[in-house]
Structures are given as structure tokens and as C-alpha cells.
Amino acid sequence: MKKIMEFLKQYAPEGSFIGLMSAKGKEGFYLKYGFIERPNDIYGAGMGFYKLVK
């Protein structure tokens, strides 16, 4: 995950939205990397990350 975040920091354009799916109950793993929860009661949260500043 650290490598992915480094890649996004370097290459994702300012203002990008990066989304991923999280297994139900595992959302906390992604929260520590700056993602926010977009809840779904059945499948767990979709997680989003907004790159505001390069």
C-alpha cells in the first residue's frame, strides 16, 4: 500500500479521485492511508481518496 500511495503522490494529477473496494470490516486498513468510507451495508465500504495537492 505504501508503494501505491507513493505512486499516486507522484503521478496522479491534482484533484484526482481514487476509489477502491474494501472487504466488509476491513475499512480501517485504508483509513490510515487517507481514504474515506463510502458505506455499503451489504458489501462493505467503497473507499475514496482525493488528491488535492501535489
What pLDDT was estimated at residue 46?
81
Residue 20 domain boundaries: 2-51
**C-alpha cell of 15?**
484533484
If one counts the domains in the chain, the total is: 1
* Cα 33–chain centre separation: 7
Residue 54 pLDDT greater than 60, yes or no? no
Q: What is the pTM of this model?
A: 0.70
Residue 37 has pLDDT above 80, yes or no: yes
